[in-house]
Every structure is written in C-alpha cells, then in structure tokens.
C-alpha cells in the first residue's frame, strides 16, 4: 500500500541526519551520493507523485513541500535532485498511457532529468523522430534511467523521452554552488524516438494532454512553469532553514578575536538572529501560501495569465529573500566560516547559485508584473 502523507514526511525526517552527514562528500564528488538516492527511493519519497494506477501515492502538493524542505535543509544539492525526481514523474504522466506503463511499470517511478530549453533538432522519420543536440543543466542525469529533451521539430517545438543509454553524459558540472547536483550536459546523436515518446510543446507546457486526462487528479495537468516553481520553492526555503540552523549554532559559540566579546551576550546579536529567524520563517510561509494558491487553482479552474505571473512573482520574491538573508548571515558569521569545511559557506554558495536561475529572475518578474499593472502585454516567454 502506498505511503500516507504523514508517513512520507516522517520518513524524510528520519533520513535527514544521514543526508546531512553526506553533504560535504556530495559536493566534493560533484553528484548526489548513491546512498542518499537509494534511501529516497526505499522510503518511497521519489514515488510520491507517481499516479496511483502505477503504484504511487499521489501525495499532496503540501507534502512535497514538507519533504523537500526537510531534505534541502540537510543538503541543498540532494534536495534539488529529490525535488526534480519527484516532480518529473508528473511529466511522464503527460505522455500516452502506453508510455506511462513503459516507464513506470518496471520500478513504479522514473529518475528523469528534464531539459526544457529547445536545444535539440528533430527530423520526422518513419514511426517517430530522429533527435540530435546537447541539453544543458541536466539535473538528475547522474542516476537517471530516462532523460527528457526538448527541441525544434518540423511541426514546432516538442519534448522527447529517451532511455539514458541512448545519450552521452558530458562531465562538465564544475560549479561553485549546487556542486553536488551533478547537473551535467547530455548529448543525443541521431537518436530514434518513437512517436509515443514525443509531446508537442502545447501539451507539455500547457499541462493538459491525452495522457494526463486518464488521471482524475488535476495535478497531472499542471502547466509546466507552475510545476517548476513548486519544484524549487522548498529547495530555496529548506536550504535557508539549513543555513539558519548553522548560523544559530555559530552565534551560540562565537567569541570575537582580540576583544573576547561573547556574541550571544550582545544586543546586536539578538537583533540580527531575530531578523534572520523571521526572514526564514516568512520565506517558508510565503512558499506555503504559493503552494496553496496553485492547489486551489488546480482544483477549480484553468490557470490564467494573471495566475501564472502572480506565482512567478512570488517565487522570484522568495528567491530574492532567501539569497539576501543567507548573504547577510554569511556577512555576520565571521571570517572563519568561509573555510571550505564549514557548512554555512557551502549552503551560501548553493543558494546564490540556485537563486540565479532564469525561471525566477527577480528583474523579469517585477518588470512583467509592472507591465500588467499598467495594462501592457507581457513580453517575456517565461510566464
């Protein structure tokens, strides 16, 4: 029987100490730790968004937020990959029923990186497509069984599913932050993709498809960008929670060099710690409100432009809040915490990296929101 929402959250809490203990090694080896991925699968966390007909639990959006926050607080890189693996099972459910059975049938889940930028070229051939190109930002590729790539087909943009053995993984993930995600590029060279492994951009990005409509749960018809925002929000807020926990421990034991001042006895320390706690809690609560908005719309009506822009804006604001807060923490933590063996500096690098993602760009989000307020049309593709 699939796990309940409460069981999934409890299992995430149980796994967190081991994942935290592996965080430094995960960053050093530039990919998720094998044991962490196996633990997430064995705990049925990766399977939480697999449709029930294929053995998944169809957990609530809120449960996904809780689980990914817990994992990301322990290790942002592992939380990022966990969030992608969990949410990308939704993408599989947009493909035809036979394709869903093919991917979900063997294990009851997939480990799927999904490159959404149209970096491929696809040529129509008998029974399918011949696909070539290189996909960047391949989060999840290091433990993948399938990959998803997007490209320019003869009839417009499409997304394509391929077994991992049909692509080449390029070892080029050398990043200062989120180093442990192993988000390497992958390359397809004239790979044959059958028709039932290809979706038009309208079906994939718009949400509703022939495949998604076989499931009663509206989650499987969520628009692509709304799903993407829900995927990363708990990584941001969970990572900030992890940073705050580290900062609080630093402050509790810190004594200034030369002067011998004990930080926890200083009023300014109380003010600073209080500000960071409030900001961390506010980021998490706003993420929950954003999830609630998405869930309400999912169960009531189609997403409109104003909905998509509001969700994008809130995601971008949370990202900015998390980045600003962790930067302030690092500035107040003292020079010794820039040593590479200190967890706070690793989380600081992780959050600054992930908060730079194009999907939740703060400048774009506030510009487009301002245009809408003035009655002007949006003029950016990522809305």
Query: For 329-347, how does the pLDDT look when each residue is reduced to its tens digit (9 = 90+)?
Result: 999 999 999 999 999 999 9
Asked if 88 and 128 count as a contact pair (C-beta separation under 8 A), the reply is no
In-domain check, residue 351: yes
Asked if 291 and 317 sit in the same domain, the reply is yes
Asked if 235 and 152 sit in the same domain, the reply is no
Question: pLDDT exceeding 70 applies to what percent of the chain?
Answer: 98
Exposed/middle/buried for residue 277 (C-beta within 10 Å: 0-12, 13-18, 19+): middle
- Number of compact structural domains in the chain: 3
φ, ψ dihedrals at 337, nearest 5°: -80, 0
Asked if 34 and 81 sit in the same domain, the reply is yes
Asked if 140 and 109 count as a contact pair (C-beta separation under 8 A), the reply is no
Range of the domain at 229: 223-373
Asked if 293 and 243 sit in the same domain, the reply is yes
Predicted pLDDT at 257: 61
pTM of the model: 0.95
Query: For 121-141, how does the pLDDT look when each residue is reduced to its tens digit (9 = 90+)?
Result: 999 999 999 999 999 999 999
Structure tokens at 293: 């908005």
Closest by CA to 120, choosing from 98, 141, 93, 150, is 150
Measured between alpha carbons, how far is 17 from 260 in angstroms, rounded to an integer? 33
Predicted pLDDT at 14: 98
CATH number for the domain spanning 261: value is: 1.20.140.10
Predicted pLDDT at 263: 73
CATH number for the domain spanning 195: value is: 2.40.110.10
In-domain check, residue 367: yes
Beta bridge partners of 163: 146
Asked if 138 and 186 sit in the same domain, the reply is yes
Choose one of 200, 233, 259: the last residue of a domain. 200
Asked if 258 and 370 count as a contact pair (C-beta separation under 8 A), the reply is no
Asked if 350 and 327 count as a contact pair (C-beta separation under 8 A), the reply is no
φ, ψ dihedrals at 101, nearest 5°: -65, -40
Average pLDDT over residues 63-86: 98
Asked if 165 and 280 sit in the same domain, the reply is no
Confidence of residue 174 (pLDDT cuts 50, 70, 90): very high
Q: How far is CA 237 from the centre of its chain?
A: 11
Asked if 243 and 362 sit in the same domain, the reply is yes
φ, ψ dihedrals at 11, nearest 5°: -70, -40
In-domain check, residue 217: no
φ, ψ dihedrals at 335, nearest 5°: -60, -30
Confidence of residue 259 (pLDDT cuts 50, 70, 90): low
Asked if 343 and 278 sit in the same domain, the reply is yes
Residues 6 or more apart from 5 whose CB is under 8 A from it?
Answer: 57, 59, 60, 62, 63
Residues 6 or more apart from 89 whose CB is under 8 A from it?
Answer: 46, 47, 49, 50, 56, 104, 109, 110, 112
Average pLDDT over residues 314-333: 97
Query: For 80-99, how does the pLDDT look when each residue is reduced to its tens digit (9 = 90+)?
Result: 999 999 999 999 999 999 99
CA 182 → CA 80, 174, 200, 269, distances in Å?
11, 9, 28, 37
Measured between alpha carbons, how far is 367 from 383 in angstroms, rounded to an integer? 12
| Residue keyed to tokens 């029930």 | 52
Asked if 338 and 256 sit in the same domain, the reply is yes
Asked if 259 and 352 sit in the same domain, the reply is yes
Q: What angle do CA 202, 51, 293 make, to 5 degrees?
A: 65
Asked if 231 and 361 sit in the same domain, the reply is yes
In-domain check, residue 383: no
CATH number for the domain spanning 92: value is: 1.10.540.10
In-domain check, residue 379: no
Confidence of residue 120 (pLDDT cuts 50, 70, 90): confident
Choose one of 81, 104, 127: the last residue of a domain. 104
In-domain check, residue 205: no
Residue 260: strand, helix, or coil: coil
């Amino acid at each position: 029987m699939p796990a309940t929402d409460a069981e999934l959250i409890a299992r995430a809490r149980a796994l967190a100490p081991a994942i935290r203990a592996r965080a430094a090694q995960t960053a050093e080896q530039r990919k998720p730790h094998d044991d962490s991925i196996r633990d997430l699968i064995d705990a049925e966390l990766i399977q939480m968004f697999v449709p029930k007909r294929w053995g998944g639990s169809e957990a609530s959006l809120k449960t996904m937020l809780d689980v990914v926050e817990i994992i990301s607080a322990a290790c942002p890189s592992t939380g990022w990959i966990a969030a992608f693996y969990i949410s990308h099972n939704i993408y599989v459910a947009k493909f035809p029923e036979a394709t869903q059975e093919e991917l979900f049938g063997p294990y009851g889940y997939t480990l799927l990186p999904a490159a959404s930028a149209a970096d491929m070229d696809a040529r129509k051939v008998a029974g399918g497509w011949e696909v070539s190109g290189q996909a960047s930002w391949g989060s999840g590729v290091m433990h993948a069984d399938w990959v998803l790539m997007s490209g320019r087909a003869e009839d417009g943009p499409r997304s394509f599913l391929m077994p991992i053995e049909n692509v080449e993984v390029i070892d080029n993930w050398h990043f200062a932050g989120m180093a442990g995600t192993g988000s390497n590029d992958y390359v397809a060279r004239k790979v044959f993709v059958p028709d039932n492994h290809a979706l038009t951009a309208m079906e994939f990005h718009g949400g509703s498809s022939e495949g998604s409509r076989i499931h009663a749960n509206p989650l499987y018809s969520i628009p692509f960008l709304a799903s993407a925002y829900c995927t990363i929000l708990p990584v941001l807020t969970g990572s900030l929670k992890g940073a705050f926990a580290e900062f609080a421990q630093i402050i509790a034991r810190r004594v200034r060099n030369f002067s011998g001042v004990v930080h926890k006895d200083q009023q300014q320390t109380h003010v600073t710690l209080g500000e960071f706690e409030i900001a961390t809690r506010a980021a998490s609560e706003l993420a929950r409100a954003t999830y609630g908005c998405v869930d309400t719309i999912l169960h009531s009506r189609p997403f409109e432009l104003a909905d998509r822009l509001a969700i994008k804006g809130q995601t971008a604001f949370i990202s900015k809040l998390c980045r600003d807060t962790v930067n302030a923490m690092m500035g107040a933590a003292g020079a010794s915490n820039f040593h590479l063996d200190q967890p706070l500096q690793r989380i600081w690098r992780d959050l600054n990296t992930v908060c730079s993602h194009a999907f939740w760009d703060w400048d774009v989000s506030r510009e487009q929101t301002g245009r809408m307020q003035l009655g002007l049309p949006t003029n950016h593709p990522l809305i």
